[in-house]
Amino acid sequence: IAARHKLLYLLDACQSAGQVPLDVKAIGCHMLSGTGRKYLRGPRGTGFLYVSDGVLDQLEPPFVDLEATTWTGPDSYVLKPDAKRFENWERYFAGQIGLGVAVGYALGFGVAQLSRRIIELGAALRKGLSELPGVEVHDKGLNKGGIVTFLVEGEDPVRTKARLAEAGINVSVSTATSSQIDLPARNLSALVRASVHAFNTDAEIETLLGVLR
């Protein structure tokens, strides 16, 4: 659709990077952004941006400094011709190194292999949750990954999170204020979100199910 209308196509891969293989050429996007702290397991405060060479000259960063530009005169500058136009002189070098290590770690395992295991564990958790009385799984989509959302009947999601935390299980709560396009349309104000990774175990899933049971 974007290609047909000659639109720039930016994809937010925040939840996907490290969870599913990403190929910008197969996707057809001009730009792709992602974060380091989620499925890549990198440091908080890190992220990345891919921009196709074909659209680089159409994009001007919201702010620039001497890293992003060449200062050509008292009141003139030229943007760097490559991806440096999106970078800043002051940057989080330790975080960048940590992100690089995390990416290398994921590539060492193989993202496709990690993805297969994440999908398996996500499916096992959904199946287990759906078999518990009073628990409803709220995931949509044909291809489901490692992010599993659910509600326990009669229990506020915040309380469910606290109860699981008492057993050493980390989940989060997604609220409608962070999901305005989706949750209000489904008459939902909040959901419990469990995010499994390839490094989780079947025993850990059973522990979660046991607490809810």
Low-confidence ranges of the chain (pLDDT < 70): none
Q: What is the pTM of this model?
A: 0.90
Count of domains observed in the chain:
2
Tell me: do 128 and 48 sit in the same domain: no
Residue of 128, 119, 87, 107 whose CA lies nearest to 196: 119
Measured CA to CA, the distance from residue 99 to residue 46 in angstroms comes to: 7
- The confidence score (pLDDT) of residue 98 equals 98
pLDDT of res. 181: 92
Q: Which residue has the tokens 């000659």?
A: 6
> According to the model, what pLDDT value does residue 170 have?
97
Specify if 147 maps to a domain.
yes
Tell me the per-residue pLDDT of 111-167, one tens digit each, with 9 for 90 and over: 999 999 999 999 999 999 999 999 999 999 999 999 999 999 999 999 999 999 999
Instruction: With beta carbons less than 8 A apart as the criterion, state whether 40 and 139 touch.
Output: no
Are 94 and 118 found together in one domain? Answer: no
Amino acid at 20: V
The predicted pLDDT at position 83 comes to: 87
Name the residue range of residue 186's domain.
111-212
Angle between helices 93-109 and 111-130 (to 10 degrees): 80
* 42 lies in some domain: yes
Q: Does some domain include residue 81?
A: no
| The pLDDT value given to residue 37 | 95
Residue 165: CATH number of its domain: 3.90.1150.10
